[in-house]
Amino acid sequence: MGQLIAGARGAGTGEGDLSGKRAVVVGMARSGVAAARFLARRGAHVTCNDRRAEGDLGAARAELDAAVAAAGPLAGTVEWRCGGHPAEIFRDAELVVVSPGVPADLPVLHQARAAGASVVGEVELAFRHLRAPLVAITGTNGKSTTTTWAGDMLQRAGKDVFVGGNLGRPLLEAVDRERPPDVAVAEISSFQMEWVARFRPQIAALTNLTPDHLDRHGSFEAYRAAKLRVFARQRGGDAAITPFGFEDHFVESDQDHFRFRLGDKVRPGASAQGGEIWLLGMPRTEAERYDARSVRLPGAHNLENALVAVLCARLAGAPADAVARSLAEFGGLEHRLELCGEIDGVRWFNDSKATNVDSTVIALRSFEAPLVWIAGGRGKGAPYAPIVELLGGGRVRAALLIGEAADEIAAAVGVAAPVERMGDLGRAVARARQVARPGDVVLLSPACASYDQFNNFEERGRRFRELVRALRTVS
């Protein structure tokens, strides 16, 4: 099978000389630092802006100052204006780059656009300068696993692959290299899609779509519209990958449309049934078959992730043997149903990346053993009712709740399982040790964001691992 993007140089168009351009970067987390570094190293005059005080941004400032110093005399200038978003720094800006965590309704952003500035996100800026084919993967759940898995398949084929985006490494890192990668595989979030204009991946995939981030987008319809922008500018020769049965009205151009599902075969697309993965109707091939039983990751949701990864990788040029090796050997991600250890016959799983209700539903369905479930954090506006039917019949010995959403979750699930409010993760882990019995699973699957008690879900997951490790030491 030939790949869809064979010989492609990249989708970006370039934006000409950035030297001397007046730019403001809003939000100085990872993507903001990457954008400021990229612009300053190309001679732009960059104002770094964040609602946090400058004293809270020491690490970001040190990283950026070092990068600009290393660029030498051709570098632009960098200044910092923090502790809010003063209107005066946006008045003369020609370019404003917005980090994903910055609210899209921030008034100064719309004022800057009205004054003639180009207002874009880091992903859009990266796309405009990217000189490599782009595979963009979005969805409510599974996008991190699928992105990493597709990248693994391509790397096993000997390709120089950038894997990142919302996954951790800003997409601009694929641009800011001495030579471009053979292909860039990027996880794309709904937040990142709010500030795109020309973004056009040659392969775009949607893993699934359920309510999430309603606290940010306001409605499922707005969230859905943001996600589907990943397909909006595709054209002939590009590929759109969606779940089977997904409405087709978003496909407004003549890109190739591939579907996937668990069950009956799909043409063109991918399916899994009876221990086999089938690809049908792909470019220059009639049919391909892979062993679904070789997939290491548990759960039907990971089989769906495998289908999307296989489609992306094959279309991007990974040969069948590299795909087959990856299906059998890929071990998954940190913080996603990650086995942290077994203590006295109890297995402890870290699913800290389950930051929404649907992710936790998937996690709960992945186990048949009795569960001690640790959940909670900062809610995102979605109801917890879908979890209730998975907790009854004695399947969950206890729901140990932490964080701001503990009371709300307790009110929803208390009819189906014993509920205990634990306050923080340390107390919840200690209580889980007391409650769990040999053969049980202790599952951290919060169904909530982490920002009430942690900086991000990674920090929450690492803390859980540390607590489990401490239990193993004293057991």
Q: Write the single-letter amino acid at 408.
A: E
Q: Is 166 part of the annotated catalytic residue set? A: yes
Q: Which of 85, 129, 143, 217 is catalytic?
A: 143
Strands 269-273 and 203-206, bridge-based pairing: unpaired
Nearest Cα to 313, choosing from 135, 453, 165, 131? 135
Q: Which of 49, 129, 141, 166 is catalytic?
A: 166
Q: Write the single-letter amino acid at 427.
A: R
Q: Using CA of residue 285, residue 291, residue 294, residue 295, what is the dihedral sign?
A: positive
Exposed/middle/buried for residue 235 (C-beta within 10 Å: 0-12, 13-18, 19+):
exposed
Q: Using CA of residue 348, residue 354, residue 356, residue 362, what is the dihedral sign?
A: negative
Q: Which of 213, 217, 335, 353 is catalytic?
A: 213
**Edge-to-edge order in the sheet of strand 269-273:** 161-165, 183-187, 134-138, 203-206, 239-243, 256-262, 269-273, 276-280, 287-291
Nearest Cα to 216, choosing from 96, 355, 111, 87? 355
Strands 371-376 and 441-444, bridge-based pairing: parallel
CA angle 141, 127, 135 (to 5 degrees): 45
Q: Which residue in the block uniquely carries the two structure tokens 């190293």?
A: 41
Q: Is 213 part of the annotated catalytic residue set? A: yes
Cβ atoms within 10 Å of 143's Cβ, excluding its own: 25
Report, as residue numbers or ranges, the catalytic residues.
143, 166, 213
